Chains A and B, each alone.
Chain A
Amino acid sequence: MSETPIPQPEKGKAQAWQQAAALFDQLATVPPEARAPVLEKTDIAPEVRAWLDKLLAAHDRDQTVMVDRQMTELVQQLMPSSAIMHDAETFYQRRFGPWQALEEIGRGGMGLVLHGQRADGQFDKQVAIKLLDPAVVGDTLERQLRHELKILASLSHPAIAQLLDGGMTEDGVPYLVMEYIDGMPINQYCHEQTLDQQQRLGLFFQVAEAVSYCHRRLVVHGDIKPDNVLVDRNGQVKLLDFGIASRLTDKSESESADNVRRWCSPAYAAPERLQGAAPAVAEDEYALAALVYELLTGARIRSAPEMTRLIAGDANADESVAQAPQVSLPGDLGAIFRRALAPDPADRYADVDALIADLQRWCKHYPVRAHAGGAGYQARKWLRRHRTLAASATLVIVALVVGLSAALWQADRAEQAAILAKQNAERASAAQVSAEQALARADQINQFLLDLFQAQIPDLPPDELPTTRQILDAGLERARDPVAGTPALRAELLISLTEILSSRLQLDETEQLLNEIEQLVNLDEQPALALRHAVVYADLARNRFNLDEAETRLQHAIDLYQEHAPDDLMRLEMQRDLARVWSRREELDRAEQALTEVMAAAEQRPDGAELALRVATDLAIVAGRDGRHELALDHFKQILDMKQSLDHAPLSIASTEVNIAMLEKMTLRYEDAVVRNQGVIDRLQPYDDVPRGIRAVAWTNLSDIARMRGQFDLAEQHIEQALAEWARVRNLDRPEDDFIFHTYRAPLLAEQGRYDEAAAQLGQAIPMMLESEEPSPRRMGLQLARQARYWCLAGEIDRAEPLLQAAGEYQHEQVLHQIELAAVSCAIERGDPDMTSDRIPEALIEQTMDQTHDASQTSRIELLRAELLLREGQPGQAVSSIENAVQRLDDAGVLTTHPLRTTADRLRLAAAAWSSESPGPDR
């Protein structure tokens, strides 16, 4: 943030204000009709009077000015959350994806429910659209929301209302679209249909089995109550809102008890939940027990006064919550409820299935397990295991992030297989054994993850969360411990941690871990592991700019995918990366061909759109590098259109714009380029506090253009801006620690005739380039040749020689061209007798334009030719070169103050003098 000096108003204006202000202070409290005498008595200048009238009018209007309101109130009134709850009507008829909202059908602590239907009327599908109060959901990112919705949408069970769609509206309101259920709450249904005990239990078993199904999929409901359990006309039970309370609510901080009570139903919620614990399996189980208790006895587990106290936030309420409810049922049934509603989760049933099983035993008059001794121990044991499976949504997200979702899903399938196997009594079947092994392994992985979070980090205060690094270190320590499990399991843990380290660019550590994994298991026998291993290895080489190794690694990864998972999108991603390696190595034809193939494959796939867009960008970059600038420009303009129509983020759009600006610069559309670069900088302005490479590039572009046009001060200013931003991006203390600092400074200095300084700058840049990354041969050669030229121009020919030789090692068209330019400069400086205008043929000049896209540099060469021609006594040809050069400067909008203009004028005069003295041979 730079301090902007407050501009001084013109004296007259300030004085007028002062007088008006004084009069206003005097008159404001006087009633309007009593002001006339004062106004008449005083001699007031017209501009003072104008101010005064405006101020008094504003004062008298007695309107509310923005600053009158408390900022709190001001901000609150603009809240969409209040809009949701207070202005439900504003959502009527609105579109939510393909769905159209109709009227409100309900509301609750979490939001508003609207009836909806297909907007296109294509088929007669009824839906319920649930708008979540953003205040409850918290600052969930849209991406995160979509991720959650995907998990919830994958829940498919006849007793669960199917989630169909969801997302976030333009104004940031999260919404869910689900199957519309025409039914009534289960308790009301039982009452109206006067169902008997067996029928009630039958309905309850449907509910409980659905909950159990979700628990196996690691989703906790979090808000089970009769309002969320509907029974439709066919007697089918439907659970609503699965996972919303547990997954979509704000988890930025552990919830306060007050906040939970705000929308949790105190008649059913478990004590630990009411005290602020995150939703977990044990809480769902408690709520289910409370529900069935109500269905069977007609009474709720908590009395009405107790619930009032809870809702009102009475301090004494906590105590009563922590006590076991009075279960007024005799015998076995009483025992079942005492156990299911135990205040301590460890004393409850192991899981929902166990509750179902015991209730079924009771129905059939078998002895129930609720009495069984030692159950507490078993329950505790189970809980320790299953907390991990579904304890908190956060944990599950971590599991997904570290790439264990596959393992968990497999385990889930395996578990179902195991249950089936048991039912079929095929006790010794091999399938069951392997299924149980897979399940056990997933449990171990979960246990591992949970332990990471519960691990005691030394010296960490108990109320502070560990950092990612601390968690990772704890994880590594455990995964390396042979006691943690089989080598295969440990390898899986290690690769997950390695993926995290790799994404955090901890390259040395990544490599070390990859080696460890290789030694731990035989990757040939573990294809899933081998794929992940290969991808991380390829990323490692790329991140180190080790292009040869990256190529080998990528090819290996591609082969592995080809063999084990040919349809995986990752295979195409790897192929794209390989093509980009080629592009980086300037093997452009090869890169282009490979990218074209990836593009074709991506376009065929429903999930390939984003990849296709990225590949389109790669193709444009390749065309640009290959000198096909007009083509690249067209590509990028198309990409810009695509991104705009796909409503891409401003940063994504800015990155395309900056590429377009660069190409506009190269094709000499300086005006367009300046406007576009400024546009990029403006677009990024709201992100001012975040460093952005794009912004740095835009400043660099602007600086280049200013330099070429001869606006050296402006160029210097933009370079400062660019370099400061680069330093921020690369997290450097000083901009000069980056070679870019020197490579950008050099041409600006050279353009001003400060050749020795320019050469010295490059002298600093070149070793840095060698150190910082594997430089492209073209870049290295160019900088060496440039440095040689600057030294020659500075008159230090000896220093140029070795540089020219070094540059000669890099065989590239552009490098050779730069070497030739340097050689010409050196020859002139040496006073080489062979140095004639033939050394600068028209072709060399055109080549300079094609390769540097720099009108001023090209004109400089052209004027050099003119100078030689003059010396050789050919003023006619010299004049045509001069005029060509001037035309170039004009076309590019180079300033009249540019030193080259002076040179051109001097040569013009010399040519004129020459021709008038003696008619030249070419006349």
Chain B
Amino acid sequence: MKPAPFAYAKARSVEDALRLLREHGEGARLLAGGQSLIATLNMRLSSPAILIDLNEIAALSGIALRDGDVVIGAMTRHAEVQQSDIVASHAPLVAAAMPHVGHAAIRNRGTIGGSIAFADPAAELPACLLALGGRVEIAGATGTRMVAADDYFRGLYETAVGADEVLTAIRLPAATPASRFGFLEFPRRHGDYAMAGLAATARADGASLKDVRLAYFGVGMTPVRARKAEAALAGGDVEAAVTALVSDLDPPDDIQASGAVKRHLAGVLLRRVTAQMDARIESAHDGGKA
């Protein structure tokens, strides 16, 4: 469990990181919290020539409310996101997901940018980004660009971030009084990657849900939107939405569950997450009267 030899460079700024990426090309990897990368290095599943360490770039950390977005710097640790009042108030889906991200030790070190850049299809935060319809801020040689979550996930561990680019921040639309969300996952043990999970958002319109976004994780090559189920749910028919999952999802078998089990659990998730969102409508109504 010793990594193959690699060089190490500490980036002083995003520009510095971009320069190092250009200089070292394909053999370079960015080091954020290291919760996935270091394990693959130690198992010699990957052997980059150089690690470019982003941990000293202060500008990449922090959480702010800006132009109606919750902006979270890429190097912000999960623990900080979990404890953030801004996130709790304006991105409650992320706050609800955070206790399920690994364990406390992982959350102390792991970063939101690392998780989104690594894009594990079974991870919670990429699915939250997708469910919220957030955007990813990416810095490159020619400046900074924004990519919508729907365009960001390209394939297994593949994203819109180019080899010579750095993911710098996540922008999530701040919740409004009409925002509804639900989150649930089924891991074998708490803290594991889920056999199947669902992050969902919607807008309450009276007693019904509009603009439903269902982002499943652990059921495909990327976090997956269940678009037919979204439409059915917006039409108020939960069981039709569950049925629609058959064409929305085609989960492959993995070590913890068969595709058939994942597909079954996806339906259970949908019913339970919908119930969460409905309950929040009810409690919001109650709150309105109080």
Q: Do A and B bind each other?
A: no
Q: Could you list which residues of chain A lie within 8 angstroms of chain B, going by C-beta atoms?
A: none
Q: Could you list which residues of chain B lie within 8 angstroms of chain A, going by C-beta atoms?
A: none
